[in-house]
Amino acid sequence: MIEDMTADILMIQEQPVEILLVEDNPSDAKLTIRSLVKSKVANRIEWVKDGQAAVDYLFCEGVYADRDPAMPRMVLLDIKLPKLDGLEVLELIRKDPRTTNLPVVLLTSSNQERDITRGYALRANSYIVKPVDFVQFADAVKSLGLYWLLLNTPPILQPRRAPAPIRPVAV
């Protein structure tokens, strides 16, 4: 099943990223990608496996320094992540003017009240607890993709700007 989607993903690599998926669990990531591809709500999904990689991707740093600076249309963000947790990533997203309005959906297994409260305090656009059931999980992912990518009208996001060249000053 997962192998079948490889060709679909390869065919759409040249299109702009619509979803940045930040998920350290390969099974959850593959199910999420498969659900989005199968429902045809996203043409291009970028998957990163930890919080630091998400920050690097969004701000064109580290291994992503040379990527196209266009922002994804939305971020699906797990909370329990290595390196930086999802709430720390969300806080960094909201502090930067380039990403402050980027739609971020927390898609996580945590149903702890403190995580939910903190997520909304940091301006998460939505908080979804991952259903344990495979079919319910796939349906939830499809529904959130339909809403955030097809029905929702997001703000225009500003890509990262190259630093202005230094010009010699005439004396």
Among 20, 41, 31, residue whose Cα is nearest residue 142: 41
Each as own residue / partner, the long-range contacts of residues 155-160 (CB below 8 Å, 24 or more positions apart, any chain) are 155/101, 157/71, 157/98, 157/99, 157/101, 157/102, 158/71, 158/97, 158/98, 159/69, 159/70, 159/71, 159/98, 160/59, 160/60, 160/69, 160/98
Mean pLDDT of 32-56: 87
* Domain count of the fold of the chain: 1
Determine the structural domain holding residue 8 and report its residue range. 2-151
Domain for residue 162, yes or no? Answer: no
Amino acid (one-letter) located at 87: L
d(CA 22, CA 76): 6
pLDDT of residue 10: 40
Q: Identify the CATH number of the domain in which residue 99 sits.
A: 3.40.50.2300
Domain for residue 64, yes or no? Answer: yes
Per-residue pLDDT reduced to its tens digit, 52-99 = 999 999 999 999 999 988 889 889 999 999 999 999 999 999 999 999
Global pTM reads 0.76
